[in-house]
Structure 1
Amino acid sequence: MSFNTKFKLSFMMFLEFFIWGGWFVTLGLFLGNNLGTNGAQDAAVFSTQSLGAIIAPFIIGLIADKYFNAERILGILHLIGAVLMYLMYTATDFESFYPYVFAYMVAYMPTLALVNSVSFNQMSNPEKEFGVIRVWGTIGWIVAGLVISLVFAWDSTENAAAGMLKYTFLMTCIASLVLGVYSFMLPKTPPKIAKGEKKSISEILGLDAFTLLKDRNYLVFFLSSVLICIPLAFYYQNASKFFGEIGMTNLTSKMALGQGSEVLFMLLLPIFFGKFGVKKTLLVGMLAWVVRYALFAFGNVGELSFMLLTGIALHGICYDFFFVSGQIYTDSKAGEKFKSAAQGMITLATYGVGMLIGFWVAGWAYDTYEMSDKVHDWKTIWLIPSGIAVLVALIFAVAFKQKKTTPVEA
């Protein structure tokens, strides 16, 4: 891969995840301070991500693998996203905000699979090359958090209470516009199926990738991906509210510590993946969720603040060793014609079905364990996803059989 191609793909990843990190990390705080939502309404808003992810494979399978270049679809979706993000910035209540965030997630979630498809299409050895490109997405997320917390301080107690977090949507609108235009300059990623080739209904809907589930190990991985995203949803939906409620300062920049660890573990991933194989890599990622939430449950902002910071820093292992490894594993299993659809399918499993369930469970826990007005039993709330992660890890460890082949194969 040439330096020019590496730069283009790296900047694409930077913008893709700057956009997501630029508003999603502080969404929980925004909803409570600006729109006065409860746990059920929070779950409804966060679940739009999952609904978008469920729709995504059908968009990817119908368009990216069959008719149009992936980079062009990526550009169009981000231009649409820029408009919707501006409308979210102008919203003043839950009823007006919800339709815009739902439409935005339908447009944004397919782009997660598209940036992977554009990247993988340029690689001859994804296990070694993908991490170096993908790490720039993590850097983009970190930069977004630093801008919010340290440059503008929109997440400070005073500014958040004053409704300043709405400016995160304006910042993201600008970034989406930039990526929308830039996408048309990316390496060409044409459809894998030739024009004029006959297509079945399952091909048109992008369902061919589901044939991967005939492989027993991949089925175990797929189901584990769904279940482990229930704990993941707790972090996305409740973490900023948790840290804000217990009095953590500069919380967005401190939460960016998790993405900082992602950079380190993204670079270590090819070494670990090559030495220990897919099963152990995925299992370590799942067990990290167990430890992380236990640290949140028993830590505080006083003498045990190191437990909270350690839990945040574990995000690198939690995310890279399971979700990025899963993307690489999926790419190795997919046939050449269905790489985009396969990435869309794993997006459905993780950010779709699993997190849809997880957001509602997290919303239920937030409302159920409210001890008084805006004060919660966070110890119990965090032990729930920790326990779920223990069960998923045990099931995966028993059911997934590592084959004695190359590390990525199983």
Structure 2
Amino acid sequence: MPYARLSAFYLFHFGALGALVPFWGPYLLERGFAPVAIGVLMAILMGTKIVAPNLFGALADWRGERMPIVRLGALLALLGFAAVFWADGFWLMALTMAVWSFFWNGPLPLMEAVTFNHLGTRVSRYAQVRVWGSIGFILTVLVVGWWQQQAGSGVVPVAVLAMFIGILLSVLLVPDRPHAHQATQHLSLRQLLRRRELLLFLTACMLMQASHGAYYAFYSIFLESAGYREMSIGMLWALGVAIEVLVFLRMHRLLERFGARRLILASLALAALRWLMIGFFVEIVALQILAQTLHAASFGVFHAAAIHLTHQYFPGPTQGRGQALYNSLSFGVGGAIGSLISGMLWSSAGAGWTFSVAAGFAALGLAAAYWSRTPDTVEA
């Protein structure tokens, strides 16, 4: 298995996310964009995450090959992003961001499918490859944060461009790996989506990511309003991702011992607890530290278990579209719903109600996952 080459893709892909999430908004502000315009521009990133994975997945399943499409997407994302340095004005920047984010978000589900195909019977080892994405995120946040303090926000697009170059180089080195041919006849995607347990499973994934909307949008703002200093806020964010790394390293053991369904149920329950701790006990540092350690459950354990089941739910020629559905419904639709509702509640209802709604999303996801009766091993 090309472990190092697959890991390099995740390192650079999520390294780009680490350069974008904390720093892109301030960069746009310094470029002269108004806050409302920045909100719309950031929404474009979410919108392409809903559409692009499904189009890329459908194309890959139709052609029966993935890596040539991934490589083309990586190249076009790099070329599209280069236009950021010359994009002047809202509409040109919006077009530029729509292009490069479309080709950046589209190939990820295909790489997930290729990774699982390379793993073969060792699918529980997926987390040991994916962990390099978390490491890339941490390293990029630290390096770009330091670099920005030294040279200003103009370094942010340079850092993202460097990550995109890394993505292209890594996918050029990853060999394609088709799904294993089996004697049994696989169901079509339409037939698979008629299965009640699959629909409830995807609903649970969407609700889990919706519950993260308030956290990603307002956690730093909430901490700052409660008197936390910038360094403390950064350390809390880093703690969450660092614990996530440790969990990824042991995820195969957790899957073997507890099974994917139990891990998903536990993650949703702990996510609800996490949002309530943040919303009502922000002044208690020890509880905020504990809440951040639960990021390992609400994101790390849940994502690894969910993508493990997604790979089983969508076998054979439906792999690309299956991974795309998981990504677009959870991180795309779920993330958009969570961000929209938390944005509406934050000023009018306050942090307590906003994070209570986030906990409610996780609780609804727990109910959906429980009633889905999703097995640990899916029979296609």
The answer to whether TM tops 0.5 is yes
TM-score if structure 1 supplies the norm length?
0.80
Equivalent residue number for residue 249 of structure 1: 230
Q: By how many angstroms is 1:317 displaced?
A: 1.0
Using the alignment, how far apart are the partners of 2:82 and 2:296 within structure 1?
31
Using the alignment, how far apart are the partners of 2:261 and 2:17 within structure 1?
29
Equivalent residue number for residue 279 of structure 1: 261
TM-score if structure 2 supplies the norm length?
0.86
Q: By how many angstroms is 1:54 displaced?
A: 2.4
Q: Which of the residues 131, 140, 147 maps onto 1:152?
A: 147
* Cα distance change of structure 1 residues 292 and 45 upon mapping to structure 2, 3 Å threshold: farther
Equivalent residue number for residue 164 of structure 2: 176
Contact 1:121/1:189 (8 A) holds in 2 = yes
Contact 1:28/1:237 (8 A) holds in 2 = no
Amino acid corresponding to residue 145 of structure 1 in structure 2 = V
Amino acid corresponding to residue 241 of structure 1 in structure 2 = I
Q: By how many angstroms is 1:52 displaced?
A: 1.5
Using the alignment, how far apart are the partners of 2:85 and 2:296 within structure 1?
30
Q: Secondary structure at the match of 1:187?
A: coil
Equivalent residue number for residue 35 of structure 2: 37
Note the 1:113-132 alignment, pairs <5 A. 113-132=109-128
Q: Which runs of 5+ in 2 are unaligned?
A: 182-186
Using the alignment, how far apart are the partners of 1:291 and 1:224 within structure 2?
16
Amino acid corresponding to residue 409 of structure 1 in structure 2 = V
Equivalent residue number for residue 308 of structure 2: 328
Contact 2:203/2:365 (8 A) holds in 1 = no
Contact 1:117/1:340 (8 A) holds in 2 = yes
Using the alignment, how far apart are the partners of 2:137 and 2:171 within structure 1?
19
Equivalent residue number for residue 202 of structure 1: none
Contact 1:74/1:111 (8 A) holds in 2 = yes
Contact 1:284/1:321 (8 A) holds in 2 = no
Contact 2:204/2:365 (8 A) holds in 1 = yes
CA deviation profile, 1:260-302 (whole Å, cap 9, x unmatched)? 11111112322222222222111112122212222222344x6
Q: Secondary structure at the match of 1:225?
A: helix
* Cα distance change of structure 1 residues 215 and 292 upon mapping to structure 2, 3 Å threshold: same
1:18 lines up with 2:6 in the alignment:
no
Q: Secondary structure at the match of 1:350?
A: helix
Amino acid corresponding to residue 311 of structure 1 in structure 2 = A
CA deviation profile, 1:110-129 (whole Å, cap 9, x unmatched)? 12212212211212224322
Equivalent residue number for residue 238 of structure 1: 218
* Cα distance change of structure 1 residues 98 and 366 upon mapping to structure 2, 3 Å threshold: farther
Using the alignment, how far apart are the partners of 1:42 and 1:312 within structure 2?
27
Q: Secondary structure at the match of 1:121?
A: helix
* Cα distance change of structure 1 residues 66 and 252 upon mapping to structure 2, 3 Å threshold: farther
Using the alignment, how far apart are the partners of 2:262 and 2:224 within structure 1?
35
Contact 1:28/1:240 (8 A) holds in 2 = no
CA deviation profile, 1:171-228 (whole Å, cap 9, x unmatched)? 01111022213311211246999xxxxxxxxxxxxx9534322222111101112222
Equivalent residue number for residue 289 of structure 1: 271
Q: What is the percentage of aligned positions where both structures have the same residue? A: 19
Q: By how many angstroms is 1:342 displaced?
A: 1.0
Amino acid corresponding to residue 105 of structure 2 in structure 1 = M
Using the alignment, how far apart are the partners of 1:359 and 1:53 within structure 2?
14
Amino acid corresponding to residue 373 of structure 2 in structure 1 = K
Q: Secondary structure at the match of 1:125?
A: coil
Q: Which of the residues 343, 364, 375 maps onto 1:363?
A: 343
Amino acid corresponding to residue 381 of structure 1 in structure 2 = T
Q: Secondary structure at the match of 2:204?
A: helix
Equivalent residue number for residue 313 of structure 1: 293
Q: Secondary structure at the match of 2:113?
A: helix
Q: Secondary structure at the match of 1:65?
A: helix
Using the alignment, how far apart are the partners of 2:93 and 2:65 within structure 1?
32
1:408 lines up with 2:380 in the alignment:
no
Using the alignment, how far apart are the partners of 1:137 and 1:214 within structure 2?
33
Contact 1:43/1:237 (8 A) holds in 2 = no
Divergent runs of 4+, >6 A:
none
Using the alignment, how far apart are the partners of 1:143 and 1:335 within structure 2?
35
Q: By how many angstroms is 1:50 displaced?
A: 3.3
RMSD: 2.9
Equivalent residue number for residue 184 of structure 2: none
* Cα distance change of structure 1 residues 271 and 408 upon mapping to structure 2, 3 Å threshold: farther
Contact 2:77/2:102 (8 A) holds in 1 = no
CA deviation profile, 1:373-402 (whole Å, cap 9, x unmatched)? xxxx433332321232223323432x1225
Q: By how many angstroms is 1:100 displaced?
A: 2.7
Q: Secondary structure at the match of 1:99?
A: helix
Note the 1:4-403 alignment, pairs <5 A. 5-27=2-24, 30=27, 35-38=33-36, 44-67=40-63, 69-88=65-84, 95-149=91-145, 151-152=146-147, 154=149, 164-189=152-177, 208-246=188-226, 247-250=228-231, 251-252=233-234, 254-300=236-282, 304-369=284-349, 377-397=350-370, 399-403=371-375
Using the alignment, how far apart are the partners of 2:58 and 2:120 within structure 1?
25
Q: By how many angstroms is 1:236 displaced?
A: 2.4
